Amino acid sequence: MSIAGLFPGQGSQSQGMLTDLASAFPIVNETFAQASQVLGRDLWQIVQHGPETALNSTENTQPLMLTAGVATWRVWQQQGGCVPVVMAGHSLGEYSALVAAGALDFAEAVSVVAERARLMQSAVPEGLGAMAAVLGMDDAEVMAACADAAQSEVVEAVNFNSPGQLVIAGHSTAIDRAIEALKARGGKKIVKLSVSVPSHCALMQPAATLLAKRLAEVKLKLSTLPVFHNVDAKPRTTAVDIAQALTEQLYRPVRWTDTVKALQQQFAIKAAVEFGPGKVLTGLNKRIDKQIEAVAVYDQASLEAALKVCGA
């Protein structure tokens, strides 16, 4: 069966994630130990015991989610799961996808992602930026409300997650104005998110400039397994272009709806398998294209179910 391998990003983390998989497959703990050695701090300890503030701190969450995605992928490989024909990741998940595809060394990815998190956190002082999820509204309506609310500040639609589910990001004050503008346009469900970094908007450009310098030092290589990127729902054909896509990703929108549609159109995928904690992407994918069988691998039961899909 033609499957796509997908990896979630920040927001899918939870305390105790992957504990069930780790109890059956030592490769999970081994993967976390490898990442912990790179960073000099015990990531599995944070997963198991928190505290919640440490788990949700951007500088921990990003390497944690990278490691969780790679650990789950390694379990899939050990258990003889079928090889995807294409891969993609949501935001940070692109790094997990590149590791799984063989385009990026895991230890190097851990180091880069930790730097990415640090740069993002330092780009905007705490409290200055914000994000909000907008449900049940048309994309054009959301973008128009953001344009009305900007008033020389930044507020943009940054995550096109599925039809009727967008996320906006920018200055906190502009986000507040946008929320009022969205309500005036009939918006009924707008939820401010508990994040410290306004990802994927213009406020991240200073961080992107610095990340580009770090990515220039990274050994990226092309893989026979294509990885589609969020910024335009397309793969890259050179290592330089991969680094450029990862740089632009910081301040350009995540076009997840377009990405899933592109995977289907170009590879006629029958199933999308999400590797990592939770099933956020699986829920989104069901809304994007109901013809794609969407499954997630995050514990032993879900692994067994996904392997059956693979063998169908």
Could you list the active site residues? 91, 200
Pick the closest to residue 86 from 249, 240, 94 (CA basis): 94
Which residues have C-beta within 8 Å of that of residue 259, sequence separation ≥ 6? 88, 228, 230, 233
Write the CA distances from 58 to 92, 112, 134, 208, 238, integer angstroms: 11, 14, 22, 16, 29
Closest listed residue to residue 22, CA positions, set 33, 8, 11, 10: 33
Beta strands across the sheet bearing 293-297? 227-228, 86-89, 3-7, 271-275, 293-297
Residues 6+ apart with CB under 8 A from 123: 197, 203, 204, 206, 207
Q: Is 14 helix (H, G, I), strand (E, B) or coil?
A: coil
Q: Crossing angle of helices 172-184/139-150, nearest 10°?
A: 130
Burial of 105 (0-12, 13-18, 19+ CB in 10 A): middle
Q: Are 250 and 208 in contact (CB under 8 A)?
A: yes
Phi, psi of 164 (to 5 degrees): 85, 10
The separation between CA 308 and the C-alpha centre of its own chain, rounded to angstroms, equals 26
Residue 192 C-beta-side C-alpha neighbours within 13 Å: 17
